[in-house]
Amino acid sequence: MLDIHVQKQQGRFSIDAGFSTKEAGVTALFGASGAGKTSVVNMVAGLSRPDTGRIVIGNCCCFDGDQGIDLPPEKRRIGYVFQESRLFPHLSVQSNLTYGMRLQKKKDRYVDFDKVVTLLDIHSLLNRRPAKLSGGEKQRVAIGRALLCSPMLLLMDEPLASLDQERKSEVLPFIRTLSQSFNVPILYVSHQMDEIFSLADQLVLLEKGRVKDSGPAKTFNTWGLRYMLKN
């Protein structure tokens, strides 16, 4: 499903990271702050261009430095959920949800609006504006908006970082069901071990721009990750 190998020099910091997954599910990109996690997902999204490498999502080659392929972000069919919800303040929740969906051709839409609204439990919010939502509600709407683009991949860059523990507990169950409910692979960025072990099927440990270890999340443990991050 994913084949990502990217190299990029960013000032004195260099990224040379590669990993792949064959199944839909949640792949966690885990590491300390400054490990290069966001840089990698921004390259996957097309917001930053690798110097060299290859990015393949499903059957679509989004980037190949040798072949001169570099699809723009809107052609990559990727849904991106950021740390902050980034909802349009002047639009209702319903209009926020359907904003990206309307840009997709009908034949390319595979995600049903009513199913998303039901799964994320946001039916009662549809007529509200973002200013009237809690932090957890905003993130659920942001997740719904990304899903309704009918993406081939869902990127989630520390989507719970701005939430308190109560709001995290509110949003986590919804994230946990997304990949199975919509058969969409998720690349989930975090440096919080509790989130990783709650959500991830596969884990990629990133350190100083390099992949230090990767494999099924169940083969890792909290002590082992702490040790690897220190050594």
Contact 44, 153 (CB under 8 A): yes
Alpha helices per DSSP H over the chain: 37-45, 93-99, 113-119, 135-147, 165-182, 193-199, 222-230
pLDDT at position 66, please?
Answer: 96
Q: Which of 12, 39, 25, 34 is nearest to 153 (CA)?
A: 25
pLDDT at position 129, please?
Answer: 97
Say which DSSP state 148 is in.
T
3-state secondary structure of 3: strand
pLDDT at position 100, please?
Answer: 82
Domains and CATH numbers, the chain: 2-230 (3.40.50.300)
| Residue whose entry in the numeric block shows the structure tokens 């209009």 | 95
- Each residue's pLDDT, cut to its tens digit, for the chain (231 residues) gives 799 999 999 999 999 999 999 878 899 999 888 899 999 999 999 999 999 999 999 999 999 999 999 999 989 999 999 888 899 999 999 999 999 888 777 788 888 999 999 999 999 999 999 999 999 999 999 999 999 999 999 999 999 888 888 888 888 888 888 888 888 899 999 888 888 888 999 999 999 999 999 999 888 876 556 655 665
pLDDT at position 9, please?
Answer: 97
3-state secondary structure of 99: helix
- The alpha carbon torsion through 38, 40, 46, 47 (nearest 10 deg) reads 30
Contact 113, 123 (CB under 8 A): no
